[in-house]
Structure 1
Amino acid sequence: GAPGSYTFPVTVSSPDTGCDHYADWWAVLSESGDLLYRRLLLHSHVDEQPFTSTGGHVDARRDETVIARSHMNLASYGGVAMRGSLIDGFNSVILTTGFGDGVETIAQLPDGCAF
């Protein structure tokens, strides 16, 4: 991608059981917790674990540190996120409680699960 328009392939491992409990989106956030991009996941991935989903255009610089994390439809986040930059690569990180609070209320949000 080009500066301000990068795509991200994100691999998610989630305890999906069907539409009652599934990863419904992943997001790229700034280091301060601001939403840069959200990729909606419109169905569960019960038999596809882990799975990779690509999304973008993410408004970030190549050297900007960002956080990628997934969200479960029951309003919870996965325990591990990825932190890094396009230049330096990414490493797993445990986020502090409250990181990115409010992101789950910003539109565009999923409105259902196909299967």
Structure 2
Amino acid sequence: MRHLPIYLFCVLIQVTACANNDNSVTETDATTKAEVGNVSVTGDENNYTFSVEIKSPDQGCNQYADWWEVISEEGTLLYRRILAHSHVNEQPFTRSGGPVNIAKDQIVYIRAHMNNKGYGNVVFKGSVSTGFSQETLEITFASELETTEPLPNGCAF
């Protein structure tokens, strides 16, 4: 093993100590919640297909993104795409769904849900006519939708 000069050794120790001086490691939304990473839309008014990219900390059926959904600004469920299995080795992943019956200028949120952690707060907001951009939405917004059909009926793998 190569020996380092004592001042360099102390600098390395200091950096390590500073790096760990953050009041402990805690779980954040980025590591425990599903996030929407991108949204694209095709189709015609009142008959759109959404392609939604999701990044999620899937670990198998015990923890996985189990759906993404389109909701109105008022919190009404407009469409839900059920995800039937985990995507442990496919991150991020994109899944399409529709038809979504909205007008081209209707503002909507697209958000993702984890089976064991609930909604993430990184969503996309916008309309088909103006496009979609990343936003932050309170995870409690329209949280009653967690029990609204359609709901997953199991996890394949």
1:26-105 alignment, distance < 5 Å: 26-105=68-147
Q: Are the aligned partners of 1:71 and 1:77 in contact in 2 as well (CA < 8 Å)?
A: yes
| Maintained 8 Å contact 1:35/1:103 | yes
Partners of 1:21 and 1:101 in 2: CA distance: 19
Relative to structure 1, the CA distance from residue 107 to residue 86 in structure 2 (aligned partners, 3 Å threshold; closer, same or farther) is same
The answer to which of 95-104 and 26-35 deviates more is 95-104
Distance 1:20 1:97, change over 3 A: closer
Query: AA paired with 1:70?
Result: A
* CA RMSD of superposed structures (Å): 1.0
Cα distance in 2 for residues equivalent to 1:48 and 1:24: 14
The TM-score normalised by the length of structure 1 is: 0.95
Larger relative contact order (CA 8 Å, sep ≥ 6):
1
Q: C-alpha displacement at 1:97, in angstroms?
A: 4.7
CA contact (8 A) 1:24 1:43 kept: yes
Identity of aligned residues (%): 52
Q: Aligned residue for 2:33?
A: none
* Preserved CA contact (<8 Å) 2:71 2:110: yes
Q: Which has the higher helix share?
A: 2
Asked if the contact 2:79/2:98 (under 8 Å) is kept, the reply is: yes
**Stretches (4+) displaced over 4 A:** none
Q: Normalising to structure 2: TM-score of the pair? A: 0.71
Cα distance in 1 for partners of 2:98, 2:127 equals 15
State how far apart, in whole Å, the 1-side matches of 2:148 and 2:117 are. Answer: 13
How far apart, in 1, do the equivalents of 2:54 and 2:66 lie?
11
Q: Which protein has the larger Cα radius of gyration, Structure 1 or Structure 2?
A: 2
Change (3 A) 1:97 1:21: closer
The counterpart of 1:23, out of the listed 55, 58, 65, is: 65
Question: How many matched pairs?
Answer: 115
TM-superposed CA distance for 1:75, in Å, is 4.5
1:47-100 superposed Cα distances (whole Å, 9 cap, x missing partner): 000000000111111111100000000151123010011111111111135211
